[in-house]
Structure 1
Amino acid sequence: MHANNEIGNILDIFAVGNLCKLYNAIFHSDTVQTVGHFPFDLRNTPVHFITGAAHKFHGPKGVGILYINENVRIKPFVHGGGQERNMRAGTENIYGIVGFAKALETATANHEADSAAIGTLKYYMYEQLKKHVPGVAFNGDVLGRSLYTVLSVSFPKTEKSEMILFNLDINSICASGGSACTSGAEQGSHVIRAINNNPNQVTVRFSFCKHNTKEEVDLVVEKLKELV
């Protein structure tokens, strides 16, 4: 995983790729959180496969990409027709493909300005929470090698904060307790358990995009002051 989807930590895929190369291992990196948000030079990146998803950068849901290094050969996933270079038979999702390409083109063209604006919002919320919410803690390398789109926050567990996700939701504030992949799981986030197994904290993941505003962050912080 190039970047963790819960706490935002970014893995050095060059270091991992070179290690795999040393031991003649095939390297696939889940880059769903970073395609469309960070520049990639795949000709000079030691990786055999990467994956991306359009909805992570405002493209259509249900369409993604698999990059396969030209020096790697794998068997077809679905046999039959010759679609997708004989790798996956079946009628292609033309609308999804075009939507993915256009969204990626837009994200790439505006990357510098968008990443700066989104990162500013993330760090503004970080500072506001530190200032206004006693006992707040943050997970991951928030000020270092981290996604500018994700902020993982742990609040002191109280009678009110145990219902924090529910109360945020009824106040039209979208946040999550972990990854979308594990929504509904009763045991909570395995990532948070691994790095911060504190039963006296409640963890919430906030995500940011180019459409968010400073005023929205202020609104969320004010609401959190009531809910914690």
Structure 2
Amino acid sequence: MPTVTPRCCGSMRLDASVLVQGERGTVEAPSIVYLIEGEQTILVDTGFGPVELMAEYHPSYRCHREPGQDLHSILDSEGLAPSDVDAVVLSHLDWDHCYGLDAFPEATVYVQREELAYAVTPYPIHADRYDATSLDREPPWLPIDLTPLSGETELCPGVTAFPTPGHTVGHQSVAVEEEGETTLVAADAVQTFENAPEDDPIPGQPMDDVAWWESATEVLDRADRLLPGHEWGVLDAEPVGLAD
């Protein structure tokens, strides 16, 4: 049976309504990566980039990393080296989910085809979230040999990637059959537990509200154990005070 371990790879400050529509104020959100260990070792998402670079590109987010929250340290604490990672699944190509890919030159890196096509030339309103070339930046995934997926795909026994568009054009989540139940790495299809009250999902600020609602509903229907993309409650970690 595969197992899933969520780990904090830093945190950032953002407006609460980005995570939960209608909320006010500023919150500190964790950046989470998920380690799946089964027939293959799979990492879901890789977090934001070097803090100094993020301060230049995204200063309002005040990105922060505590000691031990970088990818190398996370893997080392789990008894793994980057070369042990067989595959990386990028839930989507927002800047806070896809840096650090150069640490995994031997891994297959999966992304949904629709997400990749849009991220290459996003509308100007979305250029910043993709660190687009139109802003004279190099998206971290651009030099990487990505493997596009088209729809639901079994990556290895018990581990399935499937499209959950809405948050972005080609967002995907990962379902893991774990001890007879489905652990669902929702990523930003469901960003926090507050987005998932019974029977009536609440969005953050998705690109497509209708697609998001359909995806969130599917995620909640499939999940026995839900792992959102920015939820402190799934981590053995605490905020450091970025929202103060």
**TM-score using structure 2 length:** 0.30
Higher percent of residues as helix = 1
Structure having the higher Rg? 1
TM-score w.r.t. length of structure 1: 0.31
